[in-house]
Structure 1
Amino acid sequence: MAVLIVLLVGVFTFAVWFVHQHFNYWKRRDIPHDAPKIPYGNTSELMKTMHLSDYFKQTYFKYKNKTDGPFVGFYLYFKKMAIVTDIDFAKTVLIREFDKFHDRGIFHNERDDPLTANLVNIEGQKWKNLRQKLTPTFTSGKMKTMFPTILDVGDDLIRVFGQKATESKDYLEITDLLARFTADVIGTCAFGLDCHSLSDPKAEFVQMGTSAITDRRYGKSMDLFLFGAPKLAAKLRMKQSVQKVEDFYINIIKDTVDYRVKNKVKRNDFMDMLIDMKLKYDNGDKLNGLTFNEIAAQAFIFFLAGFETSSTTMGFALYELASNQEIQDKLRAEVDRVLEKHNGKLDYDSMREMTYLEKVIDETMRKRPVVGHLIRVATQRYEHTNPKYYIEKGTGVIVPSWAIHHDPEFYPEPEKFIPERFDEDQVQQRPACTFLPFGDGPRNCIGLRFGRMQVVVGMALLIHNFKFELHPTKTVVPLEYRTDDILLSSKGGIHLKVSRVAKS
């Protein structure tokens, strides 16, 4: 018994020492940081009253220009991180020394949880190879072939918006309709399915998409373990995907692939390109091909990455336009003028003429970036000109894009919505890495062309057909954000007055 007690005391003492050492890491190195609270680190109010990106934003503004180095220390529970406070160092991390910061350190388990082994999560040479294989599927030429499909769904969006606006008479919650629009667009392009979620709000495709984002396999506490020790979690054969979601998407992709191959169906969409790569693999070209699990993971992340981000951006844009009627009027005048020039039809070429719409979307993503921070992990030691500011292998690095987007050094009066910030001369005056809604460098968002295209189509059609205004009692001003979501999204939705635009 005495030996057991001594062992227990020894283990307890070591655990206390280890925790103390860990939470004194930045202090021992004399790196500026806020004092952590065990076990939360610097995030005791995370998912309660504070959004994760808001923590990074506060830290950025607290320490920017007040230290002798390009980053400050931070603890996200037990994970030690460096938060970038110098814009030139952001460029170093994302572009200049990408070879030292090419991974995100996100959980993936290819063996047991195949949907997690996607382009967003995987690392190293495997990521590089997959990126090279997928890049040709997102060229402007490929986007042009998908445009008519998106336009068909856009017509459904206008029809359903008109019905809902007539039925509601007073106000409309727009985020749900916009999510159903992007679900139909990506469901068609990525899976070749006519999802009909705009017509049927209970469509299984949308419900599973929502579950994929909001449901937890183990609960929030284990999510922290998946985030804090992703490699260990994978070795323990843990999974992130909810089983019903995994089964649903795997079965859909299998059925789609089997049907198209058997019947020689071609739709010139994203799924066609993935099937071509699978057939290459099946025929022995493993260098250029992909396995079934690999194409399933890419189709899944293509849906997940574009489903909520694009619809949320559209919701934020309509909120800003409702808050700034003169900007909405100017935008509608441009859309109407371009459509009139092209006989009332929106096509790929006429879409590209809507330059003010592009600026409205950019300013929306500047002010309210759905992805509020970028995460990287040092894959090897980084040495700075100031020797104190080295970064050890395995340390997380945060580029706080939401904070950078609201830095008055780069964007004067950052809380104001000013699309003219994205006039060419103003863009040229700003340093690199000051606009990061899609990231930057070799690991930027591969689907940014597609994401922008579906947002432009949806916004052009909506502004051409409807007027959006703040509701005196239902619209929340200022907009509030959910604190329990990794992405930036509105709390309780966005309620606006929606009315038909009279056509002369």
Structure 2
Amino acid sequence: MELTFILFQVVVALLAIATYFIHRRVTFFKSRGIPHDTPHLLKGNMDGLGRTRTIHQIVQDFYDKYRNSKVPFVGFYFFQKPAAFILDLELAKHILIKDFSNFSDKGLFYNEKDDPISAHLFNLDGPQWRTLRNKLSSTFTSGKMKFMFPTVVSVADEFMTVMHEKVQQKPVLEIRDLVSRFTVDVIGTCAFGLQCNSLRDEKAEFLQFGKRALVDRRHGSLLTGLMMSYPKLARKMGLIKTATHIQEFYRRIVTETVTYREKEGIRRNDFMDMLIDMKNRNEVTLDNGEVVKGLTMDEVLAQAFVFFIAGFETSSSTMGYALYELARHPHIQDKVRAEIEEVLEKYNNELTYESTRDLKYLNLVINETLRLYTIVPMLDRMANKPYVVPGHPKFVIEAGQSIIIPSSAIHHDPDIYPDPYAFRPERFTPEESANRPAVAWLPFGDGPRNCIGLRFGQMQARIGLTYLIKNFKFSTCPQTPDPLVYDPRSTALSVPEGIHLKIQKV
């Protein structure tokens, strides 16, 4: 009886401590006089996520509510994690570029011990991130992209063969699925050196697991929210974010690929070769005195995984939405096609790495697509030390506090981009771009922690779109969705029913 009473007291005490701690978290901004919405005890300001609203819509609604409030940031509760939701672009510039040394971390969940696939460059913080970024930077130079260019073109050639066959059989096709197969085969070839055969096999493993990696979760909303709200605690508890079948698939593929290449002495001069070289590299002392060791096998796994997921989804989405807009705006499509024909004629009808630089209007189309359909809706950062916002002494970002820069919402701000939901590539001419703040376009982030693979993503999208527009005309049909409806379960902008377009040979 006495033991039961003691246990009861312990439980009550723990509940009291937990309640007090949670209360402090959810009153963080109220106690500091920062404008905010009253949060739900568990969901914070994320109500509807995964059920009725995408993360993009949640961020957009919050931004629209406060964008004219004349303050540099407002309070936002990412589940139970209080975050400074940035409204002022000058402050965003300080965080991303000018004062980056104080905002180099993200404060996201990763667990290199129990969930090694989560410890990739996108999630890591501190010396781990800095060291890995230094190791990988040489992998994504323009020289390396030029070297990979013929590989991507060879996949595009196969893509065109498949497209001609499909268009001959059926004039209306679901374009998002087709371009995702193209990017899966490109990434599979460049990152793993494998012939994924996604273009001809809709049940190909790489394609299926690529799609599932963005939707499947290991835990329900409660534990997922815990990992996002308390990443350090979740790491100490040994929690794992990645679904088991996702982990097992990519670990098997990476391990088999590395083992086979090392045993047989095979080199393909692709991304996997570069990772293997870094794994087998001896210690190197940099000019600043930092000693850089080779990658571990777990680090190879994590980087290969994030390269595949990021390269597959972002590029395929961008291509799909670009074709959707070109189908809705035939005069823009005709202008892009005319430019492609002119450039190819200049280069003896051959698409080369150098020729893509002359596709200036196509690049405007891609930039506008990335603005209108921003795949990653926000940039995460965390303050290492207290930061008083320049010109706003009452607004202080506390040490360890999370920061959200709502990139997608900024891209739809009518004060920055008039008529923001209209598709107008001319917004990105040098003249118009010069009239906007420096950080008004953030599909790849900005500053030292921008997307390391942006060159590869842009190259892949340029090649795919060039081949498609050169060979086919795209137009809307009764099956074409208008407006687009997005899947609230997906972390990316995904249309559950797909994008059906009428396609004709040129």
Deviation for aligned residue 1:305: 0.8
Deviations 1:257-287 (A, max 9, x none): 2222233222111111111111214999972
Deviations 1:91-133 (A, max 9, x none): 1111111122111222211112221111111110111111111
Q: 1:12 to 1:107 in 2, by over 3 A?
A: closer
Deviation for aligned residue 1:5: 6.1
Deviation for aligned residue 1:12: 4.7
Report the residue type matching 1:189 in the other structure: C
**Which structure 2 residues correspond to residues 375-386 of structure 1 after superposition, within 5 A?**
375-385=380-390, 386=392
CA contact (8 A) 1:56 1:83 kept: no
**Which structure 2 residues correspond to residues 256-267 of structure 1 after superposition, within 5 A?**
256-267=257-268
Q: 1:281 to 1:231 in 2, by over 3 A?
A: farther
Q: 1:9 to 1:131 in 2, by over 3 A?
A: closer
Specify every segment of 5 or more residues in structure 2 that has no aligned partner in the other structure, as ranges.
none
Q: In 1, distance between residues paired with 2:148 and 2:46?
A: 43
The worse-fitting range, judged by mean Cα deviation, of 320-329 and 93-102 is: 93-102
Deviation for aligned residue 1:463: 0.4
Q: In 1, distance between residues paired with 2:20 and 2:144?
A: 57
Report the residue type matching 1:302 in the other structure: F
The worse-fitting range, judged by mean Cα deviation, of 280-289 and 31-40 is: 280-289
The question of 1:42 aligning with 2:45 is answered yes
Q: In 1, distance between residues paired with 2:27 and 2:387?
A: 20
Deviations 1:355-407 (A, max 9, x none): 11000000000111111111112222212242321111222111001111111
Deviation for aligned residue 1:448: 0.3
The question of 1:165 aligning with 2:187 is answered no
Q: In 2, distance between residues paired with 1:63 and 1:220?
A: 27
Q: In 2, distance between residues paired with 1:262 and 1:459?
A: 38
Q: 1:12 to 1:446 in 2, by over 3 A?
A: closer
CA contact (8 A) 1:143 1:449 kept: yes
Q: In 1, distance between residues paired with 2:54 and 2:313?
A: 17
Which residue number corresponds to residue 298 of structure 2?
293
Which residue number corresponds to residue 279 of structure 1?
280
Report the residue type matching 1:41 in the other structure: G
Relative to the length of structure 2, the TM-score reads 0.94
Specify every segment of 5 or more residues in structure 1 that has no aligned partner in the other structure, as ranges.
none
**Which structure 2 residues correspond to residues 310-459 of structure 1 after superposition, within 5 A?**
310-385=315-390, 386-459=392-465
Deviations 1:343-362 (A, max 9, x none): 22211111221111000000
Q: 1:340 to 1:284 in 2, by over 3 A?
A: closer
Which residue number corresponds to residue 466 of structure 2?
460
The worse-fitting range, judged by mean Cα deviation, of 95-104 and 118-127 is: 95-104
Q: In 2, distance between residues paired with 1:106 and 1:373?
A: 13
The worse-fitting range, judged by mean Cα deviation, of 390-399 and 335-344 is: 335-344
**Which structure 2 residues correspond to residues 7-26 of structure 1 after superposition, within 5 A?**
11-26=14-29
Q: 1:197 to 1:312 in 2, by over 3 A?
A: same
Deviations 1:211-240 (A, max 9, x none): 222211223332222212222222122222
Deviation for aligned residue 1:20: 3.4
Which residue number corresponds to residue 115 of structure 1?
117
Q: Given the alignment, which residue of 96, 101, 104 partners 1:102? A: 104
The worse-fitting range, judged by mean Cα deviation, of 452-461 and 234-243 is: 234-243
Q: 1:275 to 1:14 in 2, by over 3 A?
A: closer
Which residue number corresponds to residue 192 of structure 1?
193
Which residue number corresponds to residue 206 of structure 1?
207
CA contact (8 A) 2:215 2:489 kept: no
CA contact (8 A) 1:70 1:89 kept: yes
The worse-fitting range, judged by mean Cα deviation, of 336-345 and 152-161 is: 336-345
Deviation for aligned residue 1:432: 1.0
**Which structure 2 residues correspond to residues 74-85 of structure 1 after superposition, within 5 A?**
74-85=76-87
Q: Secondary structure at the match of 1:394?
A: coil
Report the residue type matching 1:99 in the other structure: S
Q: In 2, distance between residues paired with 1:253 and 1:282?
A: 23
Q: In 2, distance between residues paired with 1:107 and 1:176?
A: 30
The question of 1:53 aligning with 2:56 is answered yes
Deviation for aligned residue 1:15: 4.4
Which residue number corresponds to residue 306 of structure 1?
311
Relative to the length of structure 1, the TM-score reads 0.94
The question of 1:493 aligning with 2:498 is answered yes
**Which structure 2 residues correspond to residues 475-494 of structure 1 after superposition, within 5 A?**
475-494=480-499
Report the residue type matching 2:430 in the other structure: E
Q: 1:48 to 1:248 in 2, by over 3 A?
A: closer
CA contact (8 A) 1:370 1:489 kept: no
Deviation for aligned residue 1:14: 4.8
Q: Secondary structure at the match of 1:48?
A: coil
CA contact (8 A) 1:47 1:485 kept: yes
Q: In 1, distance between residues paired with 2:14 and 2:277?
A: 56
CA contact (8 A) 1:281 1:290 kept: no
Q: What is the count of residue pairs matched by the alignment?
A: 498
Deviations 1:54-84 (A, max 9, x none): 22222222222323x3100111221111110
Deviations 1:145-184 (A, max 9, x none): 1011000110111122222222223x21111111111110
Q: Secondary structure at the match of 2:84?
A: strand
Q: In 1, distance between residues paired with 2:282 and 2:247?
A: 23
Which residue number corresponds to residue 246 of structure 2?
245
CA contact (8 A) 1:359 1:419 kept: yes
The worse-fitting range, judged by mean Cα deviation, of 204-213 and 429-438 is: 204-213
Q: Given the alignment, which residue of 137, 148, 157 partners 2:139? A: 137
Q: In 1, distance between residues paired with 2:304 and 2:32?
A: 44
The question of 1:180 aligning with 2:186 is answered no
Q: 1:204 to 1:3 in 2, by over 3 A?
A: closer
Deviation for aligned residue 1:483: 1.6
Q: 1:370 to 1:283 in 2, by over 3 A?
A: closer
